Structure 1
């Protein structure tokens, strides 16, 4: 059954892999080039945060575009715009202009992932969805890891890597447009109550928001940090790549562990270990030992990146089936807000304190999630393990609507069309 599903969508999976590779390469490239151009850390933080602002806007706007003109036209349009935004950053080197282009890039990638993920979800059946989604997640993590080694193909001070990113985005269009399947429809939740979400699962809301902050800070400013302490391009690619490898290897085992015990306990220990791991990187910098720093980045990725999956799964444990669609969209929006704020705060701390403050910030955030988990464990009775749903692995590059559909349709007892439309969006 799975082979029959995979065969007609091989081109779709290839397209997703190429898009993810381009996105991760672009993030590291912008951080390195910003340092080369002499942008201060705060300016770089603003540039990186602009991506998440654009992503949030895209998550809200693109579904309506798809409804009006269809998946294929929207995908082709936003892919073209994404290619343009990255090329323009190589032509006009100005922090404010880069901020605008980066916001445009975020909006375009929201569109790209909404189309591709909802298309993938539409193709899957209830019998193959779980395995297919796991393949998709592994593919995304592998692509993000490999993308860091593309930094070695050309100097980030020139045009080559900007052109390569643009080419990758354009190349992703080709296989996706060759998929022989009817375009799916996207069911967009019209109403969402964020306040109700906070009251229902405060730990889940805390976790998904802080997961956005930490991922935005690490992936947005990690390359800048490495460049600032004197790493060359090969070392930077290994430094950032180590975090992706850590997240890829331990995401599944950590998720499985959370299925076998009170999920809050897993969140507690992941937060504590992630906080400790974040202190290893600046410790290695002080020792001038890059091996220690690489090991630190591996464990930072391993115990920081899975937080979103854990927190979102914990939140879904608290929800009734008919609430999942709107709640899932709200979780992604909160994660995007966190991703926007993370680089801003981290950059300000790096400017006012010292460069190592990036990882002090990440450590503080992880430990704060652990403290919330500890409080909830003490004051809220544990859920019966058998009543918990399965942990849902989620990659770093997901769209709100597409992911919401996946979360709902993964539960065969919860048809998407039954999701109610409740309260207006309140961010």
Structure 2
């Protein structure tokens, strides 16, 4: 009986881990291959931004598909399409075609994560939700880190890594098809009022949007930057992987600190330190010191990636329990918009100024959040610490943005028995 209870949970966790690994591998692979094919930086930025546009579209369209034909059919369909889009990029090397395929990938991944994560949330109970959420976050970060070292298995100039990514996506279908549990239902009510969210928590909205822009720029163009300054594939693996490791190690302690003081103060100093850390990487490049560059990427990840968790937690502090799930959908949209614009702006700056402008851009965004936090601290009295909720650590994948809040907060006001097969996605 115990095995029957645990099996569907572990099957879904394995499926999500494999999907995340494929997504992170694909992002770095596309950046490196774009450099090999001598796409200009602006074209690469457009390709990377197209993923977030596709993800936003998928977040709107896929819940309707699930409602009409069910979780399993949608998952199988979008997994097949996602495998096709990555394989087509290896067959047709053209920036405009890649942009279209990348948008298709984003749409498919929206479907994959909506199905698996809503199913995971449906399986969880009040007694298991916290532990399950912790395992979920750890495996997401670990998968993203491991994916960077898969780059060394084959040359990015060939077909091997594209095929590997496709295989990983297809492999993720297997554990979900083995799950023996009723499918949850997704209800789609009215759209969220984003303006109301901005009025309620302007700093949270700013932080969430800018977090999307910084992570989109770093993870979308970081491999291109490394390739452009002469790093080989093994060095690029460590370079990008260092940022994931930094974010993984400091996400939790920074979050716990934010629970013990005015969260805006934590956002302020994390933004300042993240801004300063962004200058370490180009400094290491100027003196040709790779250890300094790796250290810089670790620090950038450590003080940039936690910003989403801090901003979303600050936003949740301002909301009533019944508002949290709908606010999560708004955060998906805002983070996706930031993720779409970040690579575009960073790529334009890298083309116009110099390659180091990627990190100048990240530094400027982090400083912007810090200055706005300082403004809000001076304008609005601090919340009583006891009234703040617990900080919510969130994985980097845009797909996981709302699920983190679902896993922790969904049962805050509604008994499990009343919602055992119902997950709301408000867009």
TM-score by length of 1: 0.95
Q: Do the aligned partners of residues 402 and 296 (structure 1) sit closer, same or farther apart at CA in structure 2, a change above 3 Å counting?
A: closer
Is residue 86 of structure 1 aligned with residue 86 of structure 2? yes
Describe the shift of the 1:6–1:393 C-alpha distance in structure 2 as closer, same or farther (beyond 3 A).
Answer: farther
Q: Tell me, which stretches of 5 or more residues in structure 2 are unaligned?
A: none
Decide whether the 8 Å contact of 1:191 with 1:423 is kept in 2: no
Change (3 A) 1:329 1:42: same
Distance 1:220 1:322, change over 3 A: same
1:393 Cα shift?
A: 1.2
Structure 1 contact 130–410 (Cα < 8 Å) conserved = no
- What is the CA-CA distance between 1:398 and the residue it aligns to? 4.2
| C-alpha distance in structure 2 between counterparts of 1:245 and 1:225, whole Å | 19
- Decide whether the 8 Å contact of 1:346 with 1:357 is kept in 2: yes
**Mapped partners of 1:280, 1:138: distance in 2:** 27
* Structure 2 residue 420 is the aligned partner of structure 1 residue 416: no
Report deviation, 1:323: 1.5
In the alignment, is residue 13 of structure 1 matched against residue 13 of structure 2? Answer: yes
* 1:170 Cα deviation after fit: 0.4
Return the offset for 1:389: 0.6
Task: Return the offset for 1:131.
Answer: 1.4
Relative to 1, partners in 2 of residues 1:197 and 1:86: Cα closer, same or farther, differing over 3 Å? same
C-alpha separation between the residues in 2 aligned to 1:175 and 1:302?
Answer: 32
The answer to whether the 8 A contact 2:122-2:422 is kept is: no
Q: Deviations over 1:171-215 (max 9, x none)?
A: 110111101111111233422111111111000000000000000
Is the 1:20–1:140 Cα contact (8 Å) retained in structure 2?
yes
User: Structure 1 stretch 227-236 or stretch 173-182: which is displaced more?
Assistant: 173-182
- Determine whether 1:315 maps to 2:315: yes
Q: 1:115 to 1:426 in 2, by over 3 A?
A: closer
Distance 2:136 2:354 in 1: 38
Q: Structure 1 residues 5, 423: CA separation in 2 closer, same or farther (over 3 Å shift)?
A: closer
- Structure 1's 304 and 5: CA in aligned 2 closer, same or farther, altered over 3 A? farther
Q: Secondary structure at the match of 2:20?
A: helix
Q: Match of 1:51? A: 51
Q: CA RMSD in A?
A: 2.9
Contact kept in structure 2, 1:113 and 1:402, CA below 8 Å: no
| Contact in 2 for aligned 1:86/1:105 (Cα 8 Å) | yes
Instruction: Report the Cα distance in structure 1 between the residues aligned to 2:82 and 2:106, rounded to whole angstroms.
Output: 8
Using a 3 Å threshold, how does the CA distance of structure 1 residues 163 and 359 change in structure 2: closer, same or farther?
same
CA pair 257-293 structure 1, distance change in 2 beyond 3 A: same
Residue 14 of structure 1: CA displacement?
Answer: 1.0
Q: Single out whichever of 218-227 and 413-422 deviates more from structure 2.
A: 413-422
- Per-residue Cα deviation, 1:44-76 (whole angstroms, up to 9, x for no partner): 000000000000000111011000000000000
1:44 to 1:401, Cα distance in 2 relative to 1, 3 A = closer
**In 2, Cα distance between the equivalents of 1:179 and 1:288?**
51
What's the CA shift string for 1:143-194, capped at 9, x where partnerless? 0000000000000000000000000000110111101111111233422111
Deviation of 1:80 after TM superposition, in Å, equals: 0.2
Structure 1 residues 198, 115: closer, same or farther in 2, change over 3 A? Answer: same
What does the per-residue CA deviation read over 1:300-331, in whole Å, with 9 as the maximum and x for residues that have no partner?
11111111111000000001122212111001
- Relative to structure 2, which stretch is displaced further, 21-30 or 417-426? 417-426
Is 1:203 aligned to residue 237 of structure 2? no
Query: Cα distance, 1:134 vs. partner?
Result: 1.1
- State the distance in 2 between where 1:410 and 1:23 align: 26
Shifted more, 112-121 versus 1-10: the winner is: 1-10
Q: How far is 1:416 from its partner?
A: 9.6
Question: Per the alignment, do residues 32 and 262 of structure 1 end up closer, same or farther by CA in structure 2, a change over 3 Å counting?
Answer: same
Residues 309-318 or 9-18, more deviating: 9-18
Aligned length: 427
Distance across 1 between alignment mates of 2:426 and 2:19: 31
Taking the aligned partners of 1:97 and 1:351, their CA distance within structure 2 comes to 21
TM-score (norm 2): 0.95
1:402 Cα shift? 5.4
| Residues 415, 96 of structure 1: alpha-carbon distance in 2 compared, 3 angstrom cutoff | farther
Equivalence map 1:13-162=2 (5 Å) = 13-162=13-162
Deviation of the 1:13 alpha carbon: 1.1
Structure 2 Cα separation of the partners of residues 421 and 377 of structure 1: 41
8 Å Cα contact 2:187-2:422 kept in structure 1: no
- Matches of 1:49 and 1:250, distance apart in 2: 27
Structure 1: stretches of 5+ with no match in the other structure? none
